[in-house]
Each structure stands twice: as C-alpha cells, then as structure tokens.
Chains A and B, each alone.
Chain A
Amino acid sequence: MSVAGLIRMGDSTLVLGQRVSEWCGHAPALEEDIALANTALDLIGQTQLWLGLAGEREGQGQDADALAYRRDPWDFRNLLLVEQPNRDFGVTMMRQFLFDTWHLEVLRTLAQHPDAEISAIAQKSAKEVTYHRERSTDMVIALGDGTEESQQRMQSALVRLYPYVGEMFTIDPDDLIDMATLRPGFDAHLTATLDKATLTRPASEFAHQGGKTGARHSEHLGHILATMQSLPRSYPDAKW
C-alpha cells in the first residue's frame, strides 16, 4: 500500500542526488564543491533507505539498487523539479532551495507517521535536510541580494523553476501524506526568503504535472537514467 509513496520519495532523492553530483569538481569555490557533494551524498543515502524499504514491502525480491538501476523512465515517480538540468549555479541552488523547503515540510510530517519504519527514515533524513534547507536558503539570499548580475540570475532561475512547484502539492492517493496541507508552511518560508533575497515570486501559479504520477516526465529523465544505469544495464550479470 505504501510502496508507491516510498518510491516517490526515493526517486526524487535519487534523481536530485544524481543531478547534484554532476557538480563534483566544477563548483564556483572549493567550499561549494564540498557542500554540493555532501548534499548529493545525503540524498543518495536517503534513496537507499526509501527504495530499500519500498523493495522490501513490494516483496518481489527487488532491492534499492534493482529499483534504481533496472527500472525504465516510465516507472520513475520523481518530481519534475528534480530532473531539471543544473544549468548555472543559480538554477542549481534555486532548485535545491525549492526542493529542500518542500522536503523538510514532508519529512517533519512523516516523522510523526504511524508506520515506525517510515517515521524512522524521515527522522534521520530531517536532520540532514534541515541543514540542506539552511544552506540553500542562505545561498538564495546571498545571491539574490548580491550584485545586479546575481540578482538577475536568481530571478530568472526562480521564473524558470516556479512552474515545477505546484506538482509538489497536488493531492494524490499514492503519496504517503496529503501534500496539500504542507503548502502554507512552504509558502511562509518561501515568502520570507524571497523577501530577504530581493526576489519576486512569479504571478502565475501554472504548474507542470506528470513527474510523480509518471504520466509525463521531461525529456531530461531519459538522459539521466541512460547515464546512471549504463553499467548495470550493459553487464546485467556483473556484481560491483
């Protein structure tokens, strides 16, 4: 019953972890390189927990690796937001900020979940994500309220990514919790941060759909998976 919801959590952390790890060795400063790798590492660790539990509950002998490396794009249930390319550091940090703000609300709620295993994963993850959100929030503020160029870059990053926010809060029976109830908490943090960052929230609430239901991913997901799954798919009998 909870399998679909667990897969949603694990797929979003997996795809974002994969995206963030693309920065390794290429960040604007050494400290950012380390922090991004650390974020990716946390997200991959969380993926192991979510997909591990999903595989166990599904009961068909699939472990976290089988779910990550052997499924096709149409089986993925991650949010569209996390598939979006890194583009520049501003887009990466804005994507991280929007995700972290949603993610922390989700984990705080899931930490109270009656299912003890779900609640345990959420509690562990919430500690890490509290730090992620703090860092991405500080970065959005610093870059928004930095130079004229950085302000423009952050505003266009926000405009570019805001249409992927709505999907996080749609009501869907497969989610582990009612996501719509988290919107006020998300909005409060978003508004406070954008205010300090001198950024303007886009007027349109248009939202792309299809990531978490798997109905229509973006073109990006196929490329992410082609790269990520290349070895286990090419050498199906190999153990690594």
Chain B
Amino acid sequence: MYAQMIKSEATKEDPVKLAAFQARIDAGEKIEPKDWMPEGYRKTLIRQIGQHAHSEIVGQLPEGNWITRAPSLERKAILLAKVQDEAGHGLYLYCAAETLGVSRDELTEMLLDGQMKYSSIFSYPTLTWADMGAVGWLVDGAAILNQVPLQRTSYGPYARAMVRICKEESFHQRQGFDIMMKMVNGTAAQKHMAQDALNRLWYPSLMMFGPSDAESVHSEQSMRWKIKINSNDELRQKFVDQTVPQAEYLGLTIPDENLAWNDDKGGYDFSQPDWSEFFDVLKGNGPASVERIEARQTAWDDGAWVREARMAHAAKKQATTLAAE
C-alpha cells in the first residue's frame, strides 16, 4: 500500500530452477539474500521495497509540517517520536533493499529523478491539526492492513523488517484515533477540523490500496511469489468495513452517499475514489507532489557537503589507524 502499481518483471530463467524456486515459496520457505532467485523476483522486490521505503521518507513531510505547531508539549513529543519511527522504517527498508544489490543512494536518486514513486497519499497536504489525527487513524490504519500480511512475505529481510514496522504502526494508529477523539469532543472549531480532515483524506486513503485487481496486471505474478498476499479490492473492503464503525463512534460522517451495509456480502458497499485523480497523482500532479520532491531534493543537495565531509573524515581516521599499526 505504500507500494502501489508495482510492475512485476517477467522472468526468462531455466524452467527447472524456476520450478524449484516456486516450490520453495509454495512450501512457505523464506528466500534469503544469498539464495538463487529469478531476476524478475529480485527486480520486482527492489521496486516494491524501494517504493515502500520512499513512502516512509516522503511520509515524514506531511506530518513534519505540524511538529513545530503541535498544540501541547505532549503532542509535540508524540508526533516527533512518530516521524522519527517513520525515518527508522525507511532505514530498515532501505537495508532490506540493499540485500538485493541496490544501494540506498541509488534508490534515492531514482526517487528524485522520478523513476521510482512513493505512495500517492503523501502527495496530499496536511491543512489542520486534525489531519495529524486522520493520518494516524486512516493512513496508518490502511497501511497496517497491507503490512500485517507482508510479515509473511517470501523474502526474509522484507518480512523481518515488516515485523518491526507493524509493531510501531499500530501504536501510531491508536495515537491518531486518540487525536480524533479529542477533536470530536472539543470545541465547534475542533469538530469542524475533524470532519474536514475526514472529507479530504477519505478517498485518498481508499486509493492507497491501488486500483481494482481487475485492472492490475502485475498482481498475479506477485501473488504467486508471495510478494503480495492479498488483492487490492480485498484489502480496501476490509479497510472500509473496519473504518465505518470507527467513524460512527467518532460521530463523523464518511463523505460517501452510497455507503450502505450489504447483508449479502457481509460488508459495506461504497463509492470508488476518482481513479483519474489517482493516476494524476502518480504522474506527479498531486496537490503537494512538487513540494514533496523539492523538499527531498533540497535535503539531498544541501546535505551533499556533510556526507562528503563524513566520508573524508572517516578515510583520514582509517589512514591514521593503519599508519599506527
């Protein structure tokens, strides 16, 4: 979900090797960095883990937007800790991607030049304090649904990174819900902010799961490889079903006139998001897309002298140590 529209690579290796590989996956074995793997599997995973890592890093920005304006010392500390966790998630994921033979710097450059994407949700602006609640409640809520099954993904380092990440994400979601509780029980202005945040973030949250599986050409191979565990529609349905009662509990209205319980399927019927907007966002036309990449580019460019200096200093230290031996 932090990984959307991941193109699955075709693979042309020796059919015997491929069959043995598939058998390992079917038997529930974990694939480890030194094991043989099809080139397509490796490339697809790099794309997926990389996009997930980038999403964590770009995802710091919309929340970082409110750290300096958090309305109490406690809220400031919680938000700082949360954004720090996200940077940590980025770090685990880049490390997992590195085991597949791509460096963090290479991945960063691919994000900056547009070859790699980040989740569409982070191209939306955070406009009021209630967005800090709604991001935790909806965005982290949606992320958890996707990431819990990924703890069982076939690639060992990815699965292990997801175990650590999931623990922290559920804490984030609870914090988000707690902010929403305070807002809906607060002043008229706070209630207004809460409803407005839900109105703006509801459909972008539904988009996080990616387009319908009927249109997703890459899902099948990824599911066979256990890189993707559930279908996009399945997870979206689960998200709606779990979120509607939460919104009711908060006394907020989900901005969808077609939302209705369907007894036959045992879930809610709901409206699809505007998928043309989703594709616009993926192309870099999200409301805050330009600012997000600009911020990452500036951090990268302005930080170059620091990274170079640290390397130079490390080299000097190493030379001194060697000379002393």
Contacts and interface: CB of A to CB of B under 8 A. Distances in A.
A75 B79 CA distance: 27
B313 A29 contact: no
A26 to B, nearest CB: 5
Given A34-B87, A37-B80, A37-B83, A238 B187 contact: yes
A33 B60 CA distance: 10
Interface residues of A, number: 51
Given A26-B298, A231-B129, A235-B187, A147 B312 contact: yes
Contacts of B189: 235, 238
A28 B104 CA distance: 13
B299 A25 contact: yes
A150 B298 contact: no
A240 B295 contact: no
A24 B67 contact: yes
Interface stretch (A40-48, A187-195, A209-217): A40-48
A31 B90 CA distance: 10
A146 B312 contact: yes
B17 interface: no
B119 to A, nearest CB: 15
B307 A21 contact: no
B305 A153 contact: yes
B273 interface: no
A19 B80 CA distance: 13
Contacts of B303: 27-29, 32, 89
Given A24-B80, A153-B305, A235-B189, A240 B60 contact: no
A147 B73 contact: no
A21 B299 contact: no
A18 B73 CA distance: 10
B43 interface: no
A239 B182 contact: yes
Contact of B84 (A38, A150, A232): A38
Contacts of B73: 14, 44, 47-48, 51, 64-65, 68
Contact of A143 (B104, B129, B310): B310
B164 interface: no
Contacts of B94: 30
Of listed B81, B83, B303, B306, residue having the most chain A CB within 10 A? B306
A190 B60 CA distance: 34
Contacts of A240: 71-72, 75, 129, 179, 182, 186
Main secondary structure of the interface of A (DSSP, over half): helix
A115 to B, nearest CB: 22
Contacts of A26: 64, 295, 298-299
B67 to A, nearest CB: 5
B167 interface: no
A149 interface: yes
A28 B69 contact: no
Contact of A30 (B57, B74, B308, B316): B57
Interface in A31-74: 31-34, 37-38, 40-41, 44-45, 47-48, 51, 64-65, 68-69
Nearest to B129: A231
Nearest to B91: A30
Interface string A127-149: 00000000000000111011101
A146 to B, nearest CB: 3
A147 B306 CA distance: 9
B104 to A, nearest CB: 8
Contact of B305 (A41, A150, A232): A150
A232 B71 contact: yes
B309 interface: yes
A88 interface: yes
A217 to B, nearest CB: 18
Given A145-B313, A238-B186, A240-B72, A150 B64 contact: no
Contacts of A231: 69-71, 129
A230 interface: yes
A38 B94 CA distance: 20
Given A30-B94, A48-B73, A89-B302, 11 more contacts: A14-B73, A21-B67, A25-B61, A25-B87, A33-B84, A37-B81, A51-B73, A88-B302, A142-B309, A145-B313, A231-B70
18 contacts: A22-B67, A22-B68, A26-B64, A30-B91, A33-B84, A33-B87, A37-B87, A44-B80, A48-B74, A89-B303, A145-B316, A146-B309, A147-B308, A147-B312, A150-B306, A232-B72, A238-B71, A238-B187
Interface of A: 14, 17-18, 21-22, 24-34, 37-38, 40-41, 44-45, 47-48, 51, 64-65, 68-69, 88-90, 141-143, 145-147, 149-150, 153, 227-228, 230-232, 235, 237-240
Task: List the 3 closest pairs (A to B, CB-CB), nearest first.
Answer: A28-B303, A146-B309, A150-B309
